[in-house]
Structure 1
Amino acid sequence: MAIDAAAQVHPSAVIEEGAVIGAGASVGPFCIVGAEVELGPRVALRSHVVVTGRTQIGEETVIFPFSVIGEIPQDLKYAGENTSLIIGKRNRIRESVTMNCGTEGGGGVTRVGDDGLFMAGCHIAHDAQVGDRVIVVNSAAIAGHCVLEDDVIIGGLSGVHQWVRIGKGAIIGAVCMVTKDVMPYGLVQGPRGVLDGLNLVGLKRKGVARTDITALRAAFQQLAQGEGAFLDRAQRLSDDNPDSDYVREMVAFILGASERSFLTPG
């Protein structure tokens, strides 16, 4: 094992041979760190945390008690292949969170970006790709192969079906089941996940210009009420070459490759 001289390891913690513990990292009481784990500088495992598998955790990430990070996927097809979990910088992973490594069929890597907040009891499944500044609220579950782009918020007790993509800046309300892709900056509510508008509060908090918000609202109306199928409306928006980067981003996401259909405006 390689434990930096500036790291702190509680005497009750178990660090397996081969693990790498970075400068200023701290491993609290009764933690277990597996042989293929790499903890970056100033990572903190509070207590009773299990980090296993081929797991890399970026600097200043804090993991709270009873979380299990890097265990094998909850997937019957998994046959012990050598896959990994990569977690970025400055994440806050609260109590009893689970994050699994990837599968060979899903690309082999579960990836979590920077500056996320993963509240108590939430789950990030195999091969999920999670962006920066994502918030997953208490007891929400992100299924295998999902994509959560930057600045997404998933409400408490919600579930996201496997292979679903959730676009940048979208928000999913509490106690909501999402089975279809969600456009960037979308607002999803209700037990069965209805696209109910745009995440206007999030856009304003982010300081998005009023002209861009107006353009997004107009684009949303065109997607909701235009002629033809949803993808046809999105293609027409693209062909119009909109001035707003936000609208272009939304259209590119909708026209991108996906394993699922879309939640569409009512």
Structure 2
Amino acid sequence: MRETFIHPTALVEPGAELGQGVSVGPFCHIQAGAVIGDNSELMSHVVVTDAARIGAGAKIYPHAILGCDPQNGKHKGGPTTLNVGINCQIREGVTMHRGSDNSRGYTSIGDNCQFLAYSHVAHDCDVGNNVTFANNVMVGGHTVIGDYAILGGGAAVHQFVRVGHHAFVGGMAALAHDLIPYGSAIGVHAYLGGLNIIGMKRSGMKRSDIHDVRHAVHMLFDRTKPIRERAKDVLEKMPHSPIVADLIAFVQTGNKRAFCTPPLGATIGGAWDDDEDE
């Protein structure tokens, strides 16, 4: 394990906790109470506040600011945290805010995530593992981002919205409704443009599971009934598929926000479905 290195121009306040092999570059500021895990690298001009708990193996690029106060008028200044998992890459100018003392009290980031330049994670968000934010992605407070989700450049997600695991939000999309697992949302005002087939394959999903999800989604969005009623029908017709049960659980357990749906006029098996050879 390499030795811990602190550049002479960096300010590491007494009470900051640095793991073994941490490298702190020029003009970084680490506040008392901050925790930075083993073998993490802060390149230069990085600010880590007292609220931040950074996991091992992080690589943090210049001008990232981690753990500042939430942009939430109801926050009264109580102690809250930003918790970042292991092996995360945080690029230039990224901002991540601590939780609010009137809410869950912490913002959480999973393991093996990538946050590209100038992306932003707001207060009280819950970001899963292996998530990618492209440049300039913005997610509002209390947003939930599932494992393996990918958010394209400039995408914006409304506060309290959930993005399901393995989902894809297209570049410049404005997502104001919950996006189902495996869904692919595109458009300036994002709609459900199909399924994230490429991501499903890359994650190792079986061909049969992909077909089950496709069939379940066709049933969910056929517009003959409200989606939560159709969810019960899907479970009745596909009771033995764990992957479908997981999809339906997302529909049934969420908050009361609407769901991101296919465009009006789209038909089952129509242009909105990402149909391709398996």
TM range (shorter): over 0.9
**Any conservation in 2 of the 1:168–1:184 contact (CA below 8 Å)?**
yes
Greater mean deviation of Cα atoms: 100-109 or 231-240: 231-240
Can you list the C-alpha shifts for 1:60-119, whole angstroms capped at 9, x where unaligned? 011000000001011122221110000000000000000000002220000000000000
Determine which of 206, 211, 215 is the counterpart of 1:214. 211
Three-state SS of the structure 2 residue aligned to 1:74 is coil
**What is the CA-CA distance between 1:227 and the residue it aligns to?**
2.9
Amino acid at match of 2:123: H
Q: Which whole-Å deviations, capped at 9, do the CAs of 1:171-230 have from their partners, x for residues lacking one?
A: 000001000100000010000010011101111122211100111111111112163111
Give, in angstroms, the shift of residue 258 of structure 1.
1.1
Match of 2:229 in 1: 232
Matched, 1:167 2:178: no
Q: Is the 8 A contact 2:77 2:101 kept in 1?
A: no
Deviations 1:6-56 (A, max 9, x none): 311111100111100000111111000011100010111111000003211
TM-score normalized by the length of structure 2: 0.92
Query: What SS does the corresponding residue of 2:178 show, helix, strand or coil?
Result: coil
- The SS at the match of 1:86 is strand
Instruction: Provide closer, same or farther for how the CA distance between residues 251 and 37 of structure 1 changes in structure 2, counting only shifts above 3 A.
Output: same
CA distance in 1, matches of 2:128, 2:91: 18
Q: Which moved more, 1:179-188 or 1:69-78?
A: 69-78
Alignment gaps of 5+ in structure 2: 264-278
Map of 1:73 onto structure 2: 70
- Find 1:157's aligned residue among 154, 157, 164: 154
TM-score (norm: length of structure 1) = 0.96
Q: How many aligned residue pairs are there?
A: 263
Deviations 1:114-137 (A, max 9, x none): 000000000000000000000001
Q: Is the 8 A contact 1:31 1:48 kept in 2?
A: yes
| CA shift for structure 1 position 245 | 2.1
Matched, 1:82 2:79: yes
Deviation larger for 203-212 or 224-233: 224-233
Question: Does residue 1:52 correspond to 2:54, yes or no?
Answer: no
Partners of 1:44 and 1:54 in 2: CA distance: 18
- Corresponding letter in the other structure for 2:188: P
Correspondence for 1:101: 98
The equivalent of 1:29 in structure 2 is 26
Equivalence for 1:265: 262
C-alpha distance in 2 between matches for 1:31 and 1:99: 16
Q: Does 1:176 align with 2:173?
A: yes
In the TM superposition, 1:2-17 aligns within 5 A as: 6-17=3-14
- The aligned residue for residue 271 of structure 2 is none
1:118 aligns with 2:112: no
Match of 1:185 in 2: 182
* Counterpart position of 2:248: 251
3-state DSSP class of the match of 2:258?
coil
- Relative distance call for 1:174 and 1:5 in structure 2 (3 A) is closer
Instruction: Select between 197-206 and 133-142 the one with higher mean Cα deviation.
Output: 197-206
Query: Greater CA deviation, 220-229 or 101-110?
Result: 220-229
Q: Which runs of 5+ in 1 are unaligned?
A: none
Which one of the candidate residues 178, 198, 201 is aligned to 1:201?
Answer: 198
